[in-house]
Amino acid sequence: MGWEALAQWGEDTARIERLTGGVANDVWSVRVNGHLAVGRLGTRSDADLAWETELLRYLDGEGMTVPVPIPTTDGRLFADGLVVMTYMEGGPPETQADWRRVADTLRELHRLTRGWPQRPGWRSSTDLLHAETGTKIDLGAMPPESVARCRAAWTRLTGRLTCVVHGNPNNPGNVRMTANQVALIDWDEAHVDVPDLDLVLPDNAAGLDDGAYDIAAQASAAWEAAVCWDDAYAVRRLAEVRAV
């Protein structure tokens, strides 16, 4: 249906301008009931979008600053692949102190979502020690030696507790900061996994010790190589993963 679905949020709706940062989705600023909001149109399944929108509503209810889904006029949180969310004010993190605030926010996310069910169709990094596919990942498309390197990195996470991870918090464009709050945006890569994957931040702002940082950095590089395979970025990330 495309952007015609925006009409399901009411008569006084309109797209304003395209926003940067979306790769898998078409993201625009929109006007809904006279207020600035963000619309994201993609090809995710209804089950996938239900998981994401319910997560965001829960986190908002627990006091985190996140984009909150705005219901359609008949109360749905998405329609025909379109999600409309509140607009988040602020700018990206710039200093080490900023990134430490991001780390604190991520740890709160992890605390609030221990035991959360997996996003439909997704796999965690440790699931991929035995599974071949999960959402964007197809290990069968990678050379066997590359798969072995990735799995060796993920094996070091075995036995850890899992929770929701944001999936791409070290991208400054996915954070909106003000003096009073830190908002994580773009939850398209969020899924259930080991929290360490979220904590590989600039200048080790999460304060991981050397061993923990090495484990997290290797596992994170392997994850991004597998998710993006086989573009130039994926090849570069795979080069960071030690050979077996």
Q: Residues 116-132: what's their mean pLDDT?
A: 96
Q: What percent of the chain has pLDDT over 90?
A: 92
What is the phi/psi pair of residue 208, to 5°?
-70, 145
Rounded to 5 degrees, what angle do the CA atoms 67, 71, 73 make? 150
Question: Kind and range of the H or E element at 88?
Answer: none
14 bridge partner residues: 31
| 28, β-bridge pairs | 18, 39
List, for residues 46-68, the tens digit of each pLDDT value: 999 999 999 999 999 999 999 99
Sorted by sequence, the CB contacts under 8 Å of residue 33 that are 6+ apart come out as: 9, 10, 12, 13
Mean pLDDT of the chain: 95
CA–CA separation, 79 vs 66, rounded Å?
Answer: 20
Give residue-wise pLDDT tens across range 93-104. 999 999 999 999
Q: Is the pLDDT of residue 1 over 90?
A: no
Q: Is the pLDDT of residue 177 over 60?
A: yes
- Other CB atoms within a 10 A radius of the CB of residue 191 amount to 25
At residue 25, does pLDDT exceed 90? no
- Using the predicted structure, report yes or no on whether residue 21 has a pLDDT greater than 80: no
State in Å, rounded, how far the first CA of the chain is from the last one: 48
Show the beta-strand stretches assigned E in 55-194: 82-86, 133-134, 137-138, 163-165, 175-177, 182-184, 191-193
pLDDT of 45 strictly over 80? yes
* Per-residue pLDDT band at 204 (split at 50, 70, 90): very high
The winner for highest mean pLDDT among 31-35, 41-45, 110-114 is 110-114
Separation CA 167–CA 178 (nearest Å): 22
Query: What amino acid is encoded at 205 in this protein?
Result: A
Confidence of residue 136 (pLDDT cuts 50, 70, 90): confident
| Three-point CA angle 51, 73, 16, nearest 5° | 85
Q: What pLDDT is attached to residue 244? A: 79
Question: What pTM does this model have?
Answer: 0.94
pLDDT at residue 22 is higher than 60: no
Give the pLDDT score at 203. Answer: 94
How many angstroms separate the CA atoms of 38 and 32, rounded?
9
